[in-house]
Amino acid sequence: MRVMSQVAMVMTLDKCIGCHTCSVTCKQAWTNRAGTEYAWFNNVETRPGQGYPRRYEDQDRWKGGWELNRRGNLKLKSGGRLKKLAQLFASPVQPELKDYYEPWTYDYQNLVNAPAGDDFPVARPKSLITGKDTKIEWSANWDDDLGGATEMGHLDPVVEKLRSEANERIKFEYEQTFMFYLPRLCEHCLNPSCMASCPSGAIYKRTEDGIVLVDQDRCRGWRQCVTGCPYKKIYYNHKSGKAEKCTFCYPRIEVGIPTVCAETCVGRMRYIGIFLYDADKVTQAAARPNEQDLYEAQLDLMLDPSDPEVIDAARRDGIPEDWLEAARKSPVYALAKTLRVALPLHPEYRTMPMVWYVPPLSPIVDLLKEQGHDGEDPDNLFGAIESLRIPVEYLAELFTAGDTELVTHVLRKLAAMRAYMRNVTLGDEPDES
Ligand code: SF4
Ligand code: SF4
């Protein structure tokens, strides 16, 4: 066993109100510079939707992440590093600016100086990059304007996949409209494909906390990391010619304060914590043949911080005492491993992502009609899964590689927790079962 520590985040999706404060404060802190105008290290997507950059989940198009070769070993989808060296002068497969969006500002002069006319003058959008008038067709959360309408969300790759599987239960009609917000940042993966893709060896994972960073001096701007990251969470700075990404606010973490996005979150939906894991088993875990086993594989890597054997091994491997203490109190460990209510985003990409999500517990449509409240009775939920507003299949495609049973189990647990807390709050006798 080789014990290492990892900082990670859990987001409780029911609490996100889609205010984008996290994205704006992150931008002010990290990407408010020439060359990174289009980059949002933290962004909040409306789901269903295309995401940012649009259709990033269309892995056949971008060739991101890992796959298994015929012998069952992990291989970068975009080719190995040696192949990369042979392709150095070839263009990497990556989203274009139009897939992110061309940032703009408004030219308010027109409001003041426009000649008298029949129409009310408007402020013209101007590109922040070229300074010229621009037509706005797409931006970081365009899907928000679509209100999550599933008919309009048909370009969501997850919806498309479910449709192509002729899933009769999911009709995606206006009456069945659903939406929720999905904040995203770099996953600081245990098995990062951005790092493996880099021909210059410029990307590294810090041993002390697992934060994945780009060494700006070593980066040669090949952009293979943009191809290699399946979450498309590493960006090319077109001014400096280097790659940049979320740093998990490491200067703040080092002095014991949370990331900017977590500290400013209006919904208080982000939890940060550390956990200990067995670094010797990461590659083996990521190469589990069955995609639906990858969630369990991630959990298996997490070590019990109260286990004396783990504590001894951690001390031997140089984990400081205050980190051991933090690991024991970690909300990430509690929500992901002890309670098992937090799930990783797209575990099938095999990078072992370290941002976890408590899925949204949507109302049960039938109970809503009958009783007029959320219907959080866990027994009813079990029977009524067919009429949850957000289709379980949709959540399963995002968080469990299609395992609907697992998502159902998590939702039931959440419903039970909510019912229990409602009883406690109302002063009723809580049902301990
Ligand atoms: Fe690298 Fe972050 Fe992408 Fe993982 S999510 S592959 S750590 S850029
Ligand atoms: Fe959601 Fe919090 Fe970001 Fe607001 S600040 S969009 S509540 S994650």
pLDDT at 319: 95
Domains identified in the chain and CATH numbers = 25-91+141-247 (3.30.70.20), 102-137 (no CATH), 260-426 (3.30.70.20)
pLDDT at 111: 85
Ligand 2 atom 1: residue of nearest CA: 16
Q: What is the pLDDT of residues 293-332, one digit of tens each?
A: 999 999 999 999 999 999 999 999 999 999 999 999 999 9
Residues 6+ apart with CB under 8 A from 228: 64, 65, 76, 77, 78, 193, 194, 196, 197, 198
The residue whose CB lies within 8 Å of the most ligand 1 atoms, and thus the one to mutate among 229, 282, 348, is 229
Residues in contact with ligand 1 (CB, 6 Å cut-off)? 186-189, 192-194, 212, 229, 231, 233-234, 245, 351
pLDDT at 364: 65
| Ligand closest in space to the Cα of 266 | 2
Are 286 and 346 in contact by the 8 Å Cβ rule? The answer is: no
Which is more confidently placed, 87 or 59?
A: 59
pLDDT at 327: 96
Q: 186 CA to middle of ligand 1, Å?
A: 5
Q: Atom of ligand 1 at shortest distance to CA of 188?
A: 7
Are 77 and 66 in contact by the 8 Å Cβ rule? The answer is: yes
| Ligand closest in space to the Cα of 225 | 1
Q: What is the pLDDT of residues 110-150, one digit of tens each?
A: 888 888 889 888 888 898 888 898 888 788 877 776 655 54
The helix or strand, by DSSP H or E, that contains position 410, with its residue range, turns out to be helix 404-426
Q: 270 CA to middle of ligand 2, Å?
A: 9
| Ligand closest in space to the Cα of 355 | 1
Q: Atom of ligand 1 at shortest distance to CA of 193?
A: 6
Burial of 147 (0-12, 13-18, 19+ CB in 10 A): exposed
Are 198 and 222 in contact by the 8 Å Cβ rule? The answer is: yes
Q: What is the pLDDT of residues 174-224, one digit of tens each?
A: 556 788 999 999 999 999 999 999 999 999 999 999 999 999 999 999 888
pLDDT at 48 over 80: yes
Task: Please report the ipTM that was assigned to this predicted complex.
Answer: 0.94
Overall average pLDDT of the 99-108 stretch: 88
The residue whose CB lies within 8 Å of the most ligand 2 atoms, and thus the one to mutate among 13, 143, 263, 266, is 266
pLDDT at 90 over 80: no
DSSP state at residue 362: P
